[in-house]
Amino acid sequence: MDDNAEHAAQEGRGRREGRGQAGDGRAAPRRAGAVALLVSATASGQGKTTVTAALARLLARRGLAVRVFKAGPDFIDPAMLERAAGSAVYNLDLWMVGAEASRAMLARAAGEADVILIEGVMGLYDGTPSSADLARAFDVPVLAVLDASAMAQTAGAVVLGLRDYGPVRMAGVIANRVAGSGHAAMVAQALRNMPLLASLPGQAASLPERHLGLVLPGEVDALDDLLDSLADALQLDDAAWDALPAASLPEAPPKILPPLLQGKRIAVARDAAFAFLYRANLDCLRGMGADIQYFSPLADEPAPEDADAIWLPGGYPELHGAALAAGTAWQASLRRAHAQGKPMLAECGGLMAVCESLVDKDGKPWPMAGLLPARTRMQARLAALGLQGWQTAHGQLRGHAFHYSTLEGDIAAAGHARRHPSGDSGEAVYRAGSLTASYFHAYFPSCPQAAAALLGGPA
């Protein structure tokens, strides 16, 4: 567990030990075996993250050990859910993460936790693989989040359709944005033999969003107060909750990684501009023997001189153009490391930072580190979204792309990732000396050998 995860866990323990049970008024009983639920909906925008966060916070305050996962590629929702649950959040995906690795993570969580919540992605059946595919692969029942603000009895038809279309095992429903107890009762009656596990009234304050999704937790004032208010408002049917069966998730042995980065120190940019880090990627690097050292370009901290390699992950550099452009120390350190031939990996936001300039949404250019002879430009419409895989000499490195900027410049690509499942050409991969840069976000555990080679391991 790294520093942020430990901080989240300590906050979670403090809530449970300090005010959790008194604030909720009920201590949930511990049971033999974890309850596992996949939280999904008809579409994006129904309130999956809000409901998952509220439920995780409520159960953690009752003294239960809660583990949360996020289905599919995502950096921002996991950060918010970590804050809500007080424990580290990892991604699950049948293709990017892989069925075996996903099963192993769920099995370990089942041995440690009372409750496992998996927040789905988009609608229940959207995508290849979909949240429904994930639920069926591990026999995890679905908890449907339904925006009931403009319906009552029709809720039953919607949820029955969600259950039967696949089909999936349906554990029950959480009605979001209900007008009151009478409205919730109408929804409950319409569900026939499915329980209304909880309802959540319409929220005066919700989790804030921007162009790539939710705002990062560190940027939200009084976030814990907001999460507590959501948990307070969640009306949980305790009898229906206690009747949920324990999951059947057999133990899985941990995967042993080869020591391909033993003795290597890797400098990782990490701050509000470079915050898109899969926790599993950091675990993978450490598992191969790397020593990770963080630095903050936003604070104009240079990359450590004794680093053997540098990784600039994605994030929001477009929101911090002025601060990054004014930072002479971090830019000079990257140019120096590049001239020395140190391996460097720049992903998405990292790619934007190593180009000559970044043009923000207002059309203002900001000078960047200048290692790649190109510039990036923000645009109003989405430039790319979805799973992709990059075939390397060591195997396929899987991941995804999600960005609103485009690259401009007369620069040839050294290769391309491929979109999944179509196989169409995806994100370009650029090389400039020891630098590898792309909009492609890699999930390192999908091919540890390829990840190691990008950061100074065996070529």
d(CA 53, CA 188): 22
Asked if 447 is an active-site residue, the reply is no
Burial 74-113 (b: 16+ CB within 10 A, else e): bbbbbbbbbbbbbbbbbbbbbbbbbbebbbbbbbbbbeeb
Structure tokens that stand for 274 in this block: 């470079």
Is the CB of residue 417 less than 8 Å from the CB of residue 429? yes
**Direct distance between the N- and C-terminal alpha carbons of the chain, in angstroms, rounded to an integer:** 29
The DSSP secondary structure of 183-212, one letter per residue, reads HHHHHHHHTTTS-EEEEEEPPSS---EETT
d(CA 348, CA 327): 19
d(CA 381, CA 243): 46
Is the CB of residue 166 less than 8 Å from the CB of residue 69? no
Residue of 284, 348, 355, 447 marked catalytic: 348
Nearest to 219 by CA among 269, 273, 279, 296: 273
DSSP tag of 321:
H
Structure tokens that stand for 143 in this block: 């908890």
Please, which residues bridge with residue 294 across strands?
268
How buried is 172 (Cβ within 10 angstroms: 0-12 exposed, 13-18 middle, 19+ buried)?
buried
Cβ neighbors of 421 (< 8 A, separation 6 or more) are 95, 128, 387
Structure tokens that stand for 366 in this block: 């900001």
Q: How many other CB atoms are there within 10 angstroms of residue 363's CB atom?
A: 8
> Which positions are catalytic?
348
